[in-house]
Amino acid sequence: MYIPITDATIRFLENKADIHFIKTQQYDKARELLNDKNILILTGNPREGKTAMAAHLALEGGTKKENCIKLECARDWEDVDWSLRCFTTVIIDDIFGGIALDHGRLREWKSALMPLNKAQRNKC
C-alpha cells in the first residue's frame, strides 16, 4: 500500500524555506551524523525547531519532496509499499512524543526501528 504525501507533509517540507530558520553548529553536527550514519533522531523541547531542522536536512543535496515520506506513528511504517523504492528519505516527527517521552510510543517504535534501520541500509 502506498501512502501518498499529505498536504501537511508538503507544507512541512515547503517550510524548509522558512526565513527564520538559522543553520547553527548543532545543525552542522546533525548533518554530519546523518551523512555518516544515514539515520538521525532529533530530540528536544517543543518549539525548538526539530521539525524545521528535519525538513532542511531532508531536502539538502537536491532530494525531491516526492522522495520524502513523513511517518507519524509506528503503524505507518507497516503501511508503506517499500517495493516501490521511491522514498529516499524517511522523517518521523515526534517519534517518542511531543512534549515528554511517551513510553507507549517508545514500545510501538521499538519493533519498527530495527526493520527501518535494515531498510535504510538496503536503501529501502
The 10s digit of each residue's pLDDT in 68-90 is: 877 777 777 777 777 777 777 77
Residue 18 lies in a domain: yes
Residue 1 lies in a domain: no
Instruction: Answer yes or no: are the C-beta atoms of 71 and 79 closer than 8 Å.
Output: no
Residue 89 lies in a domain: yes
Residue 15 lies in a domain: yes
Range of the domain at 106: 7-121
What pLDDT shows up at residue 84? 74
What is the CA 95 to chain-centroid distance, rounded? 9
Residue 106 lies in a domain: yes
The Cα 108–Cα 75 span in angstroms is: 8
For 21, phi and psi rounded to 5 degrees? -80, 130
* Mean pLDDT, residues 34-54: 79
> What radius of gyration do the chain's Cα atoms show?
14
Query: How many domains are there within the chain?
Result: 1
What pLDDT shows up at residue 1? 46
Residue 2 lies in a domain: no
Q: pLDDT-derived band of residue 29, with 50, 70 and 90 as boundaries? A: very high
Least confidently predicted of 31-40, 71-80, 92-101: 92-101
pLDDT for residue 27 is more than 80:
yes
The Cα 36–Cα 49 span in angstroms is: 22
Residue 84 lies in a domain: yes
pLDDT for residue 53 is more than 80:
yes
What is the CA 42 to chain-centroid distance, rounded? 9
What pLDDT shows up at residue 71? 78
Residue 40 lies in a domain: yes
